[in-house]
Structure 1
Amino acid sequence: MGKREPRAKNAKAQETFLTRSREKREEKTREAKEIRVKLGQWGFLQLSIFRNLA
């Protein structure tokens, strides 16, 4: 199932947490896709290298 999510005290809090983290993850991938399209593959490659060093 991938990496383990930290457990919350109760089911409702856990549900909220999972939803929020999933939304954040989707937002990040969406932003990454937009950046990739704007820069093209070469620019994206440079950006990813730079981000790995930062």
Structure 2
Amino acid sequence: MVRHAYQDGPQRVTVRGQDAVVIMSVEEFRAARSGEASGTFRRIHAGPASRSA
């Protein structure tokens, strides 16, 4: 999961079908905090796709 977050962008994790956390690289986190989030980060907020824990 960590490797996917680093290579492919933020990964949504669910617990019992409910969003729980998002795992992302430090670079993506810093960009999100500075307001320069990538398209991948914006899609993770909008999209229904998720990964189960």
> Which TM class, normalised by the smaller chain length?
under 0.3
TM-score normalised by length of structure 2:
0.25
- Which structure's residues are more often strand, by fraction? 2
| Bigger relative contact order (CA 8 A; separation at least 6) | 2
TM-score normalised by length of structure 1:
0.24
Larger Rg: 1
